[in-house]
Amino acid sequence: MRILLVEDDRLLGDGLQAGLTQAGYAVDWVRDGEAAVAALSTESFATMVLDLGLPKRDGLSVLQWLRERKDATPVLILTARDQLEDKVRGLDLGADDYVLKPFDLDEIAARLRALVRRAHGHPEPVLTLGEIELNPAARTVTRAGGAIELTPREFDLLHLLLQNAGRVLTRRSLEEQLYTWNDAVDSNALEVHIHHLRRKLGNELIRTVRGVGYMASAA
């Protein structure tokens, strides 16, 4: 799942990028408000981790800009300010969650999962489609109760497809959400992952919509 990380502090940004990558996210890291706006104007992200004190353009101003253009990307704010009014202001401007520094990596990862879940209208933590169950927190997948081993990329792809079950996802949007700018993407990498998923989970789960993309549906 692709995340935009906006953090000016080099050490913290580096740590968050490494930590969230470990947790299975594809993390794009920008270090100022202008760069965040530039990234958000051209690409789409599953969620965004936004620090408030940023050079060039303040975090709250980035948030305001984002909401004004009706972009609903879930936003998790990182801040050093613990005053209630700061929180209220952030939430009023359209932030979805709020984490006070210093924080725990696991907490950030859990909150990001919750944000994505809510954004896709899945209040329950586990996604189910037919015999397939996907638990984003545990990063486990079962088929008819039996555990299935997936690579991180395969898991993310399945996660995206299940979140949008019944909808067709274009190749492009899948690639955008799966890979960061730094990932070298082979032209047929997506097909390879789909192929592996079908082998592990059965051919019926993922349908190819010719010329458009892919769709997950129950039988």
Window 22 to 51, contacts with another protein (CB under 8 A): 22, 31
Taking the complex as a whole, how short is the minimal distance between the CB of residue 164 and another protein, in angstroms?
A: 30
Q: Strand runs (DSSP E) across the chain, as ranges?
A: 2-6, 26-30, 47-51, 75-79, 97-100, 127-129, 132-135, 140-143, 146-148, 169-170, 206-209, 213-216
Q: What share of the chain is helix, strand, coil (3-state, %, to 5)?
A: 40, 20, 35
Window 48 to 77, contacts with another protein (CB under 8 A): 55-56
Check residue 152 for interaction with another protein (CB under 8 A). no
Taking the complex as a whole, how short is the minimal distance between the CB of residue 156 and another protein, in angstroms?
A: 18
Phi and psi at residue 162, to the nearest 5°: -70, -40
Piece of the chain touching another protein by CB under 8 A; list 39-47, 59-67, 102-110, 127-135: 102-110
**Residue of the chain from 72, 88, 103, 204 that contacts another protein (CB under 8 A):** 103
Piece of the chain touching another protein by CB under 8 A; list 58-66, 94-102, 114-122, 162-170: 94-102
